[in-house]
């Protein structure tokens, strides 16, 4: 892949799912359309989970049905089970994301299943999704630390990754769900994953709990990771992982990768009007260094 980056915007799902208020489906569609207009090609539009568990994701069917196909744009929906997969199919999506955790405790907390039961469920849903001609990406959560079990054995992560790829995932996304990763552990784990599976089959999903997301992204880039997730404005977290802060801000991540000389599908400045819209018209607290810097530059020049 060289220095070419594939970027996944997860704000409309992982960003919004842990914000305190529920955003109307029409405003979620408006957010996604703004992201597409900015040049984003891979967007996770929501989760097909029962609203009893994640109220912020109510109406994902409406969101998916309202989106117009755009050339080169892939809309992804997270499906936690077979029922979620059917809802995604009924909504016309062709790309779905599956998820399981690297630890027993987080699988129980997040999915109410054991690790082995989660693995079997992912295998079944993967098989059914492939039979329908869908493309799959699969998250492995808590790969660099679990809120319940602490350190995670990365050998277990690699074993899970191999199984998930064998189930038919296009790639796996390594989730630092609570931001427990540090540059050394992230570099070591990502290097091992890239060596085992290839750079086109390993994505990185960072949270900024300890303010280390960008330095961890740098460490991952240096060892060959070229697929990255981010959330516009640094929104989000994980409702089933105590202490999880927001995702790494898309504009911060892209700014870093641009400074490293990477070939990007979308530029960091194109996100700034969307971040402004989220703050001024949707009332969100944004957590983006690039956004704050742009505001300071505007004030300095006025």
Residue 96 included in any domain:
yes
Predicted local distance difference test score (pLDDT) of residue 242? 54
Q: Which of the residues 99, 238, 266, 268 is marked catalytic?
A: 238
Domain total of the chain: 1
Q: How far apart are CA 208 and CA 204, in angstroms?
A: 13
- Rounded mean pLDDT for each run of 10 residues along the chain, 302 residues in total: 91 90 94 98 97 93 96 97 97 97 88 89 97 98 93 96 98 95 98 98 95 97 98 76 74 97 96 95 90 86 74
Residue 63 included in any domain:
yes
Q: 3-state DSSP call for residue 155? A: helix
Residue 183 included in any domain:
yes
Residue 1 included in any domain:
no
146 belongs to the catalytic site: no
- CATH code of the domain in which 18 resides: 3.20.20.70
The candidate with the shortest Cα–Cα distance to 75, out of 84, 85, 90, 65, is: 65
Residue 221 included in any domain:
yes
Sign of CA dihedral 24, 27, 33, 38: negative
Predicted local distance difference test score (pLDDT) of residue 246? 83
Q: Which tens digit of pLDDT belongs to each residue from 210-227?
A: 999 999 999 999 999 999
Residue 174 included in any domain:
yes
Predicted local distance difference test score (pLDDT) of residue 262? 97
Residue 81 included in any domain:
yes
**Full domain range(s) for residue 169:** 6-301
Residue 157 included in any domain:
yes
Predicted local distance difference test score (pLDDT) of residue 1? 62
Q: How far apart are CA 51 and CA 56, in angstroms?
A: 7
């Amino acid at each position: 892949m060289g220095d070419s980056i594939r970027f996944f915007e997860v704000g409309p799902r992982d960003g919004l799912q842990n914000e305190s208020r529920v955003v109307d489906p029409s405003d979620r569609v408006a957010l996604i359309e703004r992201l597409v207009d900015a040049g984003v090609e891979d967007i996770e539009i929501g989760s097909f989970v029962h609203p009893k568990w994640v109220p912020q994701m109510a109406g994902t069917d409406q969101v998916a049905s309202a989106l117009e196909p755009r050339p080169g744009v892939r809309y992804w929906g997270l499906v936690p089970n077979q029922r979620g997969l059917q809802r995604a199919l009924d909504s016309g999506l062709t790309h779905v994301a599956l998820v399981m955790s690297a630890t027993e405790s987080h699988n129980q907390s997040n999915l109410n299943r054991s690790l082995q039961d989660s693995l079997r469920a992912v295998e079944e849903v993967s098989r059914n999704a492939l039979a329908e001609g869908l493309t799959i990406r699969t998250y492995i959560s808590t790969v660099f630390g679990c809120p319940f079990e602490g350190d995670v054995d990365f050998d277990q992560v690699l074993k899970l990754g191999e199984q998930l790829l064998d189930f038919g995932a296009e790639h796996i996304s390594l989730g630092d769900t609570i931001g427990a990763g540090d540059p050394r552990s992230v570099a070591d784990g990502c290097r091992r994953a890239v060596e085992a599976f290839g750079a086109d089959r390993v994505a990185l999903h960072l949270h900024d709990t300890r303010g280390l997301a960008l330095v961890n992204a740098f460490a991952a880039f240096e060892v060959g990771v070229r697929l990255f997730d981010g959330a516009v404005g640094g929104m989000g977290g994980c409702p089933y992982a105590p202490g999880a802060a927001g995702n790494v801000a898309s504009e911060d991540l892209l700014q870093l990768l641009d400074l490293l000389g990477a070939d990007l599908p979308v530029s960091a400045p194109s996100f700034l009007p969307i971040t402004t819209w989220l703050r001024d018209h949707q009332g969100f607290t944004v957590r983006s260094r690039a956004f704050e810097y742009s505001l300071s530059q505007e004030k300095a020049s006025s």
